[in-house]
Structure 1
Amino acid sequence: MDESGEIRATAFNAAAVDFYDRLQDGKVYLISKAKVGLAKKKFSNVNNEYELTLERNTEVEECADATDVPAMKFNFVSIGNLQDVAKDSTIDVIGVVKEVGELSSITSKATSKVIPKRELTIVDRSGFSVRLTLWGKQAEQYDSTDQPVIAFKGAKVGDFQGRSLSMMSSSTMHVDPDIPEAHALRGWYDAAPSDQKFQSHTGSMPSGGGVAFDRAEIRNLNDVKVSELGMYDKPDYFSARATVMHIKSDNISYPACPTQGCVSDYSGQAWFQGFNDVGQLLFGMSADELVDIKVREASPELDRSASISTSIGDVTRGHQRAQERDDVRYNQVMERTIGTTYNFACRARQDTYNDQTRVRYGISRIMPLNYREEAKYLANLLLTSEWAR
């Protein structure tokens, strides 16, 4: 940053290694021969339409005698307004650290590396609280125990428990910064009652498994798997649009068991699980009605079309004919579901059974396609999205 504003600079691979030890927070540098490109707004909240890429031939020289160094600029979002911020956005937020979690760790499935993590609960004057996760060295080195005010720049917004925040490699945090917002927050918190209650964003989430369908956040099935959703110590939520390809019917006769089906989109396939509401939409009938078709035992009393006879052979043949008719009807119900596309709101969560760990995708909501709404959304993209301008 300089006196005119700020810009994001990124280095990759060998250039990142080269500049890692040479660039330090709070120091001033002269930078030349950097590559200028359009800013990727999805990964940055810096107020600039452009960004820099530092390459191997980029020249960086420290200005040892620099004066009037500009202060860090923030664009804070209130914790109470996080519900209005899109998932995966990067934001600036400031809050008082109300609670500090123990240092723990997770193991990355992609790299098998152990990654330290620590969770903070921060609050502000909106009366809301939010969980923020520190990773790596930030988690290990955090040692503040006196409920400091911390300004976080470039934190990523997640949807765990309604809304959550997570630090990224490019995020920074500033403890008790000398800015008006921090002073005001410190005064408010110190004057507040010690037993003041704060509202989390969990209660603001819609019902039905804690997740809503969002067209703007649809993820393809391959992306869900590659991103390792649900692989760690918390469930992840996502929206998907997929077509039913197959339904496992071996345990469908037990109403308490989930219906499990294979769904597919252009990127791949996955097994989704759903319970009563999902089954009713898929099959057009209740679980009891479907179970009745599957396990109905034909008898002269149930099969009125069978002739009453004292012959054991006639009764047996009537039983077989009725059973065949029920099998045909049951298979027809199953086949009607195949090839239909739905919008899904899902939860990905790791599950261990018989010493085998895998991720299960549970259906929180299922909705038939509303082609009017789908067309309206696509038309709006043509008018408002950055790539359409």
Structure 2
Amino acid sequence: MPVNLTANSISAIIAGDVNAKPLVQVLDIKLIGSTQERYRLLISDSVLTQHAMLATQLNEVVKSGRIRKGSVVQLIDYICSTIQNRKIIVVLNMETIIPDCEVIGNPKMFGDFDSGVQNSVPDRNYGTAAMTNNSNLGTQNPGRTNYSNGNNLISRNAGDNNVQSFRPTVQPSFQPPPNYKNHGAIMKNEAPARIIPIAALNPYQGRWAIKARVTAKGDLRRYNNARGDGKVFSFDLLDSDGGEIRVTCFNTVVDRFYDTIEVGKVYMISRGSLKPAQKTFNHLKNEWEMFLDTSSTVDLCPDEDTSIPQQQFSFRPISDIENVENNSILDVIGMVISVNPSVPILRKNGMETQRRILNLKDESGRSVELTLWGDFCNREGQKLQAVVEAGHFPVLAVKAGKVNDFTGKSIGTISSTQLFIEPDFPEARDLREWFDQGGKDVASQSISREIIPGGSKNEIRKNVSQIKDEGLGRSVKPDWITVKATISFIKTDTFCYTACPLMIGDRQCNKKVTRSGNSRWLCDRCNQEFEECDYRYLLQTQIQDHTGLTWVTAFQESGEEILGCSAEELYKLKHEEADELRFAEIIKSCLFTQFMFRLKIKEEIYGEEQRVKITVVKAEKVNSSTECGYLLEQISKFSFG
């Protein structure tokens, strides 16, 4: 059937009209961008063609094939920007009308179109384009469909591409309320800033303004570098189209805006600069980050804008977190099933902070540890502890939690994290309903501890030679494997070390200690002396199988599993009782004994050298019955002709 495009609509858009919702055809699609995927389109209105850029939130419509070469689409929301002296239409929202269609008309590129043709030249008297040779606006012929959008009237005949009239009226651009404070006189010829969506921001635009809600505000931080002392803070913005961006202020700009910015309030912001976002510290889905300077304006919007949501989440099931990269930032929601007391923790820099551990579970059948740090322990942490102790299990939504893989997978709070207790939105209501209707009694497996027995994650069988041949441990995440091997050698000169017995919070310090001048033990980390120390295994062992041999390190628990006694007993046997015979018997008893080793393999940096470190997580003597069952199962997988 004939397809009618909105002829001459590209001229209108470039002249300034962004209020109509024209039908255009996609003639070409090209993927561009190195840091973030973006798609550039060549669109046609049957008369002209022009380049357009898709907002990143629309990438999926191209990837899924809903929009492709030849598609006829309706532009719903869009703006026209000047990028490197070229006009680019930035498409924020569009709808596919016809997925596939032959090229309509014989369009020419906008810049090549004959500027002498009257009906395609911008009419400066109207501020838009005069796009018709037919001035009979009052005639309505049979078969004509009229599309009305505000003051814009598009009237077209069915069966042809002749637009009978198209005289859109440009709506006045929004101008932020005047801010005379600290700015002096306003220039009369200064063009008003136009509100655009956050997703349409780019560094090549002229004047612009965004209207957005503050969803998070970071603490005021002070720093010192080669240029001297300074201070900085950041806040996150969310607009009505779902676009997010981080805004950062330094030094004198901090003094202007730090006390002004409040979480939850809506502001009109203009005159900022854009730079590529540092993804190491910025988790928002935006390739740009905004920086304010002394000329920037931040004006509070007095009327609450209900079109802008209070917060935006991208929740991940707890079961997904098990496969997420370390240090990733994500959102998670779960039922709080336990809350540990807050304990003081000594940081590496010698400063003390508070730590509190919670446990969350959800419908995925998994649970995860959430570690609260600093003020979170006393604010939300104290409230959650009181609620759980009273016998109630609250819903907790975590915005911007950081993934840690130190002991399995866990989540920790950072400065930009936000916690929402018993929030009122659909995900929270669904989770509460599941929990109250039986989810409370459903067993869940924790992803936060290294659960070795029966854990498929750690039951990948390898032989010794495969560790080197397959380059295990050299990826971002450690490799976990099981190796059946015998112990061929144990270093006996440094099989253990003297450790600090003091408790830091709910964990022992365990740092190496030395003798002080008065024969007491001194811990540099805790800066304390004590009479007795602990002895902990640091066992360097060589293991081998039929394919080769390698060195592994066994710490306290796995060292006791290998040698059958504690490090303190073995130390006293050798150094205090001087029973060399008994000491040698214990060492020899485990040599050439076959163990099932659970190994953690990870590349680490020692000095300036990278080495693969193999740590024994668990060591069990081979159970003949269990191993025979495993071998028979493996044999059964082979078919013999």
- TM-score normalised by the chain length of structure 1: 0.55
**What CA deviation, in whole Å up to 9, does each residue of 1:121-167 have, x standing for no partner?**
11110010000111222211121313221211111111032100011
**8 Å CA contact 1:123, 1:198 repeated in 2:** yes
CA distance change for structure 1 residues 57 and 151 in 2, over 3 Å: closer, same or farther? farther
> Higher RCO, 1 or 2 (CA under 8 Å, sep at least 6)?
1
Measured in 2, the distance between the counterparts of 1:344 and 1:16 equals 46
Q: Deviation of residue 29 (structure 1)?
A: 1.2
Structure 1 residue 78 corresponds to structure 2 residue 317: yes
Aligned twin of 2:273: 35
Measured in 2, the distance between the counterparts of 1:27 and 1:344 equals 49
Structure 1 residue 206 corresponds to structure 2 residue 458: yes
Residue of structure 2 aligned with 1:106, choices 345, 354, 357: 345
Q: Deviation of residue 257 (structure 1)?
A: 5.6
Q: Deviation of residue 214 (structure 1)?
A: 5.0
Q: Deviation of residue 116 (structure 1)?
A: 1.8
Q: Look at both structures and tell me which one has the larger radius of gyration over its CA atoms.
A: 2
Q: Deviation of residue 362 (structure 1)?
A: 7.1
Measured in 1, the distance between the counterparts of 2:255 and 2:404 equals 29
The amino acid that maps onto 2:244 is I
Residue correspondence of structure 1 range 141-180 to structure 2 within 5 A? 141-142=379-380, 143-144=383-384, 145=387, 146-180=392-426
CA distance change for structure 1 residues 10 and 193 in 2, over 3 Å: closer, same or farther? closer
Structure 1: gaps (5+ residues): 219-237, 240-248, 259-272, 284-342, 349-360, 366-389
Aligned twin of 2:511: none
Residue of structure 2 aligned with 1:275, choices 540, 544, 555: 540
Aligned twin of 2:615: 364
Task: Compare 26-35 and 5-14 and name the one that shifted more.
Answer: 5-14
Measured in 2, the distance between the counterparts of 1:12 and 1:274 equals 51
Q: Deviation of residue 207 (structure 1)?
A: 6.3
Measured in 1, the distance between the counterparts of 2:431 and 2:540 equals 46
Aligned twin of 1:24: 262
Q: Deviation of residue 37 (structure 1)?
A: 1.8
Measured in 2, the distance between the counterparts of 1:59 and 1:65 equals 18
Helix, strand or coil at the partner of 1:84: coil
The amino acid that maps onto 2:260 is R
Aligned twin of 2:243: 6
Q: Deviation of residue 19 (structure 1)?
A: 3.9
Residue correspondence of structure 1 range 235-274 to structure 2 within 5 A? 252-253=491-492
**What CA deviation, in whole Å up to 9, does each residue of 1:279-305 have, x standing for no partner?**
94159xxxxxxxxxxxxxxxxxxxxxx
Structure 1 residue 137 corresponds to structure 2 residue 383: no
The amino acid that maps onto 1:217 is V
Residue of structure 2 aligned with 1:128, choices 360, 366, 372: 366
The amino acid that maps onto 1:345 is K
Residue correspondence of structure 1 range 347-386 to structure 2 within 5 A? 363-364=614-615
Measured in 1, the distance between the counterparts of 2:369 and 2:435 equals 18
CA distance change for structure 1 residues 18 and 170 in 2, over 3 Å: closer, same or farther? farther
Measured in 2, the distance between the counterparts of 1:46 and 1:32 equals 20
CA distance change for structure 1 residues 107 and 50 in 2, over 3 Å: closer, same or farther? same
Aligned pairs, how many? 248
Helix, strand or coil at the partner of 2:358: strand
Measured in 1, the distance between the counterparts of 2:439 and 2:359 equals 18
Aligned twin of 2:8: none
Measured in 1, the distance between the counterparts of 2:365 and 2:397 equals 17
Residue of structure 2 aligned with 1:345, choices 602, 608, 611: 602
Report which of the two has the higher share of helix.
1
CA distance change for structure 1 residues 188 and 39 in 2, over 3 Å: closer, same or farther? same
Measured in 2, the distance between the counterparts of 1:200 and 1:100 equals 15
**8 Å CA contact 2:491, 2:541 repeated in 1:** no
**8 Å CA contact 2:473, 2:603 repeated in 1:** no
**8 Å CA contact 2:601, 2:613 repeated in 1:** no
CA distance change for structure 1 residues 282 and 190 in 2, over 3 Å: closer, same or farther? closer
Measured in 1, the distance between the counterparts of 2:327 and 2:297 equals 33
Measured in 2, the distance between the counterparts of 1:38 and 1:55 equals 17
**8 Å CA contact 1:7, 1:51 repeated in 2:** no
The amino acid that maps onto 1:175 is I
Structure 1 residue 217 corresponds to structure 2 residue 473: no
Aligned twin of 2:285: 47
Q: Deviation of residue 256 (structure 1)?
A: 5.6
Helix, strand or coil at the partner of 1:276: strand
Helix, strand or coil at the partner of 2:322: helix
Report which of the two has the higher share of strand.
2
**8 Å CA contact 2:491, 2:540 repeated in 1:** no
Aligned twin of 2:299: 61
Helix, strand or coil at the partner of 2:458: coil
**8 Å CA contact 1:149, 1:186 repeated in 2:** yes
Structure 2: gaps (5+ residues): 1-237, 461-470, 480-488, 498-537, 553-599, 606-611, 617-641
Helix, strand or coil at the partner of 1:133: strand
**8 Å CA contact 2:396, 2:422 repeated in 1:** yes
Identity %: 30
